[in-house]
């Protein structure tokens, strides 16, 4: 289905290398990515993986040192400064620290991109008030950012980013500075504007829960490269790369239970039967299993459950149990504790 | 000296000090403000990094800032005479004052703008703001409270310079203090000149600080 949609952002062999006194630092290597019009696309990675650099290359806040960035039919590297500024008016961006003008009211903040786009003042003001209404802050028109909560500031930032009717909205860790409740409401707002305006949203985050909540597709960045890219449900159920396994594993695999061996993760994808699978398995094998973690998630509107089990130390029984679970139609994935530890050690 | 004479001298020299201070500050900003902005823009983390411009300008500013004002004024006498025609009075003091104060202003402006969160500048860039808009709306707009604090420090510093200039032919309250107090031991008129200087400094400082506080929306 996605294949029929037009590509709005295309990154081709993108790379970014910083030259520092202590040698070259490769922030991005050979990134190839296509983002389709109207989708919510996630980019996830641990800190230092290069995801922030990646999103900054999409609007050329960072100039890539190799490769090509295409946004809405324009190849950014071929534009002069004026044309680049014009193109940027069609690419909104929001940030972790909101980056509002602190000496200006919310309305003046939202008017700023319109002033840059040379929209007449009264028209800009009208549009700003409409946008404030849309993000649910109609009563805060005269407030200064210092008087707003984090979630409200991000709403103003979203309104500001949407002022010039951009086709793309880039979100750089937009919910990372917010509490869980504000995070949820900001994500709901993003989902809402995606549905209403059809705007393409690119979300950069280090939290898998953010991806699970609103993204349709995701690219996982690890050590400056794309480790895995695809449908979020697919990756949640069957992660291929070590980094993907670490990220979908509850608590990023950082729980101390990870020192345990013989762990496996079972994913129910909402189609599973109501049969008490684990209980039946224990009865059948007459061997106890240890439930380490159980969790359910709503991914792209579908319920997914996951359970982390510690299987008996007898390898033969453990293998049979895995087979049993697979036969019941569940996705079973043996989690290698070592893999996650390796990834976290390489974080930075 | 009669009381009337004293009042007349003090009031006319107070006006002289005010005129000299305010006009010099104005010219110092006309030159120093753009210099400070250029220093910020061309910094290696600025939005138009240019190492050559930045280091040459930085060097000139540092050198001028290093020469004590009174020495600079005396050193500049031939230049001042050539350009202005005189080296005494308000006319003769203005040029060295501006030369001394402009680099000071440049550094003040630079440090004020440096306080602006780089993320806000980045946000403006992401909206496609041209450099001119970033300077006026983001850098100057966001740094305004800090710029006003800098302004009040600058104007009081320049007031101090005008008083120093009294030793080298400059006019104003400094001249009164030097001529009557230092050379003629007339403590009464000197004390009054000092009190007037203190009052002027306090007025400038308080006004600047209050303005800065009032216009700062960060609370």
pLDDT of residue A272: 58
CATH superfamily of the A249-346 domain: ACT domain (3.30.70.260)
Pick the residue of B112, B118, B126 with the most A CBs within 10 A to test the interface with A by mutation.
B126
Q: Which residues of A touch B144 (CB under 8 A)?
A: 103
Q: How far is B22 from chain A (nearest CA, A)?
A: 27
3-state secondary structure chain B: CCHHHHHHHHHHHHHHHHHHHHHHHHHHHHHHHHHHHHHHHHCCCCCCCCHHHHHHHHHHHHHHHHCCHHHHHHHCHHHHHHHHCCCCHHHHHHHHHHHHHHHHHHHHHHHHHHCCCHHHHHHHHHCCCCHHHHHHHHHHHHHHHHHHHHHHHHHHHHHHHHHHHHHHCCCCHHHHHHHHHHHCCCHHHHHHHHHHHHHHHHHHHHHHHHHHHHHCCCC
pLDDT of B186-200, one tens digit each? 888 989 999 999 999
Residue B207 has pLDDT above 80, yes or no: yes
pLDDT of residue A317: 87
Nearest chain B residue to A94 by CA: give it: B123
Give me the CATH topology for the region B3-215.
MetI-like fold (1.10.3720)
Domain boundaries, chain A: 2-237, 249-346
pLDDT of residue B121: 97
Pick the residue of B127, B216, B218 with the most A CBs within 10 A to test the interface with A by mutation.
B127
Which residues have C-beta within 8 Å of that of residue B10, sequence separation ≥ 6? B173, B176, B189, B192, B193, B196
pLDDT of residue A343: 40
Of A88, A100, A146, which is closest to B127 when you measure between CB atoms? A88
pLDDT of residue A3: 47
Q: Which residues of B touch A92 (CB under 8 A)?
A: 126
DSSP lists the bridge partners of residue A20 as: A23
Q: How far is A32 from chain B (nearest CA, A)?
A: 23
Q: Which residues of B touch A113 (CB under 8 A)?
A: 127-128
Q: How many CA atoms lie within 13 A of A96 on its CB side?
A: 10
Q: Decide if A2-237 and A249-346 have a common fold.
A: no
Q: For chain A, list residues with pLDDT below 50.
A: 1-4, 255-257, 338-348
Domain boundaries, chain B: 3-215
Residue B48 has pLDDT above 60, yes or no: yes
pLDDT of residue A2: 46
Q: Which residues of A touch B219 (CB under 8 A)?
A: 144, 146-147
Give me the CATH topology for the region A2-237.
Rossmann fold (3.40.50)
Interface check A97 vs B, CB under 8 A:
yes
Cβ pairs A/B, distance under 8 A:
81
ipTM over 0.90: no
Residue B123 to residue A86, Cβ atoms within 8 A: no
Per the CB < 8 A criterion, the answer to whether A242 and A338 are in contact is no
DSSP lists the bridge partners of residue A220 as: A44, A228
Q: Give B 185-214 residues with CB within 8 A of chain A.
A: none
Nearest chain A residue to B126 by CA: give it: A88
Of B125, B142, B219, which is closest to A101 when you measure between CB atoms? B142
pTM exceeds cut of 0.90: no
pLDDT of residue A251: 60
């Amino acid at each position: 289905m996605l294949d029929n949609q037009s590509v709005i952002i295309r990154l081709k062999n993108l790379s970014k290398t910083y030259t520092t006194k202590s040698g070259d630092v490769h922030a991005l290597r050979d990134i190839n990515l296509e983002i389709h019009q109207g989708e919510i696309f996630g980019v996830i990675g641990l800190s230092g993986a290069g995801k922030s650099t990646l999103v900054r290359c999409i609007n050329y806040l960072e100039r890539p040192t190799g490769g090509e960035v295409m946004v809405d039919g324009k190849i950014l590297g071929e534009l002069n400064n004026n044309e680049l500024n014009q193109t940027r008016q069609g690419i909104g961006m929001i940030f972790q620290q909101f980056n509002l003008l602190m000496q200006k009211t919310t309305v003046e903040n939202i008017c700023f991109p319109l002033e840059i786009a040379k929209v007449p003042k009264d028209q800009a003001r009208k549009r700003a008030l409409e946008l404030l209404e849309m993000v649910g802050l109609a009563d805060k028109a005269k407030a200064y950012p210092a008087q707003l909560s984090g979630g409200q500031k991000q709403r103003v930032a979203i309104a500001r980013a949407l002022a010039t009717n951009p086709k793309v909205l880039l979100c750089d860790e937009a919910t990372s500075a917010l509490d869980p409740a504000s995070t949820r409401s900001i994500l709901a707002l993003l989902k809402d504007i995606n549905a209403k305006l059809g705007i393409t949203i690119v979300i950069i985050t280090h939290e898998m829960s953010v991806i699970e909540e609103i993204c349709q597709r995701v690219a996982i960045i690890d050590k400056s490269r794309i480790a895995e890219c695809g449908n979020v449900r697919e990756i949640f159920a069957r992660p291929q790369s070590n980094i993907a396994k670490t990220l979908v594993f509850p608590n990023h695999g950082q729980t101390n239970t990870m020192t345990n061996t013989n762990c496996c993760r079972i994913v129910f994808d909402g189609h599973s039967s109501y049969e008490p699978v684990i209980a039946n398995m224990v009865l059948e094998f007459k061997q106890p299993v240890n439930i380490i973690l159980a969790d359910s998630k709503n991914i792209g509107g579908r319920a997914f459950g996951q359970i982390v089990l510690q299987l008996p130390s007898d390898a033969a029984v453990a293998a049979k149990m895995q087979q049993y679970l697979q036969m019941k139609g569940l996705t079973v994935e043996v989690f290698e504790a070592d893999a996650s530890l390796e990834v976290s050690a390489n974080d930075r | 000296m009669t009381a009337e004479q004293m009042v007349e001298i003090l009031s006319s020299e107070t006006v002289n000090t005010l005129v000299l201070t305010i006009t010099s500050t104005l010219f110092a900003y006309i030159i120093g403000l753009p210099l400070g902005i250029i220093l910020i823009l061309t910094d290696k983390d600025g939005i138009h990094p240019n190492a050559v411009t930045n280091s040459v300008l930085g060097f000139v500013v540092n050198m001028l800032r290093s020469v004590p004002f009174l020495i600079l004024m005396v050193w500049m006498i031939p230049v001042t005479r050539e350009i202005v025609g005189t080296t005494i009075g308000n006319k003769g003091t203005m040029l060295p004052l501006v030369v001394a104060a402009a680099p000071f202003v440049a550094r003040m402006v630079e440090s004020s703008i440096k306080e602006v969160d780089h993320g806000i500048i980045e946000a403006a860039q992401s909206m496609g703001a041209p450099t001119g808009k970033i300077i006026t709306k983001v850098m100057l707009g966001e740094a305004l409270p800090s710029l006003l604090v800098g302004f009040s420090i600058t104007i009081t510093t320049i007031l101090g310079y005008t008083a120093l200039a009294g030793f080298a032919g400059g006019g104003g309250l400094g001249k009164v203090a030097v001529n009557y107090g230092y050379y003629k031991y007339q403590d009464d008129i000197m004390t009054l000149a000092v009190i007037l200087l203190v009052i002027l400094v306090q007025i400038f400082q308080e006004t600047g600080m209050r303005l800065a506080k009032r216009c700062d929306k960060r609370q």
